[in-house]
Amino acid sequence: MKVVKGITKLLVIVGALNWGLVGFFQYDAVADLLGGVSSMGARIVYALVGLAGLYKFGCFFCCRNKNCGCGCSNCGSGCNCCNKKHQQ
């Protein structure tokens, strides 16, 4: 699970940086590096970034609503409550 969290974190960072470049400079680094917006490589990266965002979005609400059942007082970035919930 540690690997999945690391990969999703990396993909969310890539997505955020790419959208920042698009917003500020009208430059899509993913498309430029992988052969255009419609290229298979770019579409795969966009899809993976989207899935990583959905995963992180789910963990955000799990921790904020304290629906995970971990019982900790530190619900948020370091409590691993989503991991406990999904491992059961």
Share of the chain above pLDDT 90, in %: 52
Cβ atoms within 10 Å, residue 78: 9
Contact of 82 with 62, CB cutoff 8 Å: yes
Would you list the domain boundaries of the chain? Answer: 2-87
Q: Which uninterrupted H or E stretch holds 13?
A: helix 2-25
Higher local confidence (pLDDT), 14 or 67: 14
pLDDT tens per residue, range 30-69: 999 999 999 999 999 999 999 999 888 877 666 555 555 5
Task: Find out whether 49 and 12 touch, Cβ atoms under 8 Å.
Answer: yes
pTM, to two decimals? 0.69
What is each CA distance from 70 to 53, 76, 82, in whole angstroms? 23, 11, 9
CA atoms within 13 A on the CB side of 64: 6
